Chains A and B, each alone.
Chain A
């Protein structure tokens, strides 16, 4: 019997046990207890499943956490595995070849804060991960799950960053990778995948088309672990580490407010989950905090629903330079709405021109070159202050999730030489720069 990675054809996975499930190693998923449906609470055993067999709702990981102390975490490695007790990974995760992402810098953004009028602003800079986006975090957790499920192929549909991370992590782990992207993706993101894998597949369509194709392939091919489809519950947990790190780096406390980019919305919901877990485990003090979501106007289904005060998200056809955020039909969109509303935050969107301006603003104030997703996030932060939706006297964290070198074209017309001169002092003096 070959490994079954696709959802199994059975009424409920409980009754599908009869010899079809791959045998799982003891402790393969650490302290994870089960998969539980976010909609109806139905629980099923851990396996390569992502949709509830009762209601199609998204499955997520439930845990039996032991007592975890700050000291135990602090004694761990300077990467996401310091939080392994809180992730669906085995205790020996550090023995398997992986990219060891995480523990990226949390920078006090004095200049940007001054420019925006925010007293106390931090940038969590995730562009310094191994493949230069936060996706290395989620992929590391997905890779562990794929390995424990004995998958033969490691795959994903992607707007670029995820493909880069999957291709690189798969190469290092020695597992075949196949990554699917929209064919109009930024060239650097294509190269950053193709260099690691001979199986980059460009699909004529937008991300939602690519995602749909991947869901169909996942239903047909045995032994394929699509990181954000059939192992999505494990994958998504990786984003919690962004939340854990921010709290730890602030000295084991939560910020007052945080601004997070939204494509599928997974990252935002998991940072919130991380904060809630830290409170429950007594690792930080309980306090109110506000969560804000950032989208680009050309793909803002969640922001539109937020502003309209409705609970349902109307899918859109994306048209924005923020291609990494261009998901017209976001899987976790409704949960983003819930979290932003419950915590007193908001979801806001900005134009492509504002995205470009914000990229340059972050670069010139903090020396951080972000990609269009980070431009969107910083630009939304600016707009939130200007429109009075965010209190500038409260401690604020903004997440930069990806590196600007991957979306150079976005600003290449904006910036360039201030002058082109002859190599003489007179020519230089004539520029007025001195």
Chain B
């Protein structure tokens, strides 16, 4: 399952500046593992010590926040677009 992942600016040091990278995996957890294999350390910035999504990171699979889906177990079918976005924006 090949998916594409949009990388926020503060994590682009890990991807050599790339804003969009590809990865594989059938679930978000697998995708993050695969991402970490290519870009060592990036997973630890998205996931905390307890293995949960950090509270100031939002991850979207397609257009849906994974907290409305199955969190890290959210399925990531072939061609899925994943976005990692800092959560602190807003104020309406």
Measuring CB to CB, which residues of chain A are less than 8 angstroms from any residue of chain B? Answer: 6-11, 39, 50-53, 55-59, 138, 157-162, 205, 207-209, 211-212, 214-216, 218-220, 226-229, 232, 235-236, 263-264, 266-267, 312, 314-315, 317, 324-325, 327, 329-332, 334
| Contacts A56-B54, A216-B83, A329-B58; A232 near B91 (Cβ below 8 A) | yes
The CA of A8 and the CA of B12, in the complex, are separated in Å by: 9
A-B CB contacts (within 8 Å), total count:
114
For A215, the chain B residues whose CB sits under 8 A away are 8, 85-86, 89
Give 5 closest A-B pairs by Cβ, nearest first: A7-B9, A51-B86, A56-B56, A58-B88, A9-B12
For A11, the chain B residues whose CB sits under 8 A away are 13
Q: List 30 A-B contacts (CB under 8 A).
A: A9-B9, A9-B12, A9-B13, A9-B17, A39-B56, A51-B8, A51-B10, A51-B86, A55-B56, A56-B45, A56-B88, A57-B88, A58-B56, A138-B91, A162-B92, A208-B65, A209-B63, A212-B60, A215-B89, A216-B6, A218-B89, A226-B89, A324-B92, A329-B58, A329-B65, A329-B87, A329-B90, A330-B90, A331-B87, A331-B88
* Closest Cβ–Cβ distance, residue A330 to chain B (whole Å): 7
| Count of chain B residues near A, Cβ 8 A | 28
| Contacts A232-B88, A263-B92, A324-B92; A53 near B10 (Cβ below 8 A) | yes
For B67, the chain A residues whose CB sits under 8 A away are 314-315
Contacting pair A228 B91 (CB below 8 A): yes
Measuring CB to CB, which residues of chain B are less than 8 angstroms from any residue of chain A? Answer: 6, 8-10, 12-13, 17, 19, 45, 54-58, 60, 63, 65, 67-68, 83, 85-92
The CA of A393 and the CA of B45, in the complex, are separated in Å by: 49
Which of A55, A212, A327 neighbours the largest number of chain B CB atoms within 10 Å of its CB? A212
* Closest Cβ–Cβ distance, residue B83 to chain A (whole Å): 7
Contacting pair B92 A228 (CB below 8 A): yes
| Contacts A215-B85, A220-B19; A57 near B56 (Cβ below 8 A) | yes
Contacting pair B88 A327 (CB below 8 A): no
Contacting pair A228 B65 (CB below 8 A): no
The CA of A6 and the CA of B8, in the complex, are separated in Å by: 10
The CA of A11 and the CA of B8, in the complex, are separated in Å by: 13
Contacting pair B10 A264 (CB below 8 A): no
The CA of A52 and the CA of B12, in the complex, are separated in Å by: 14
Which of A51, A56, A214, A215 neighbours the largest number of chain B CB atoms within 10 Å of its CB? A56
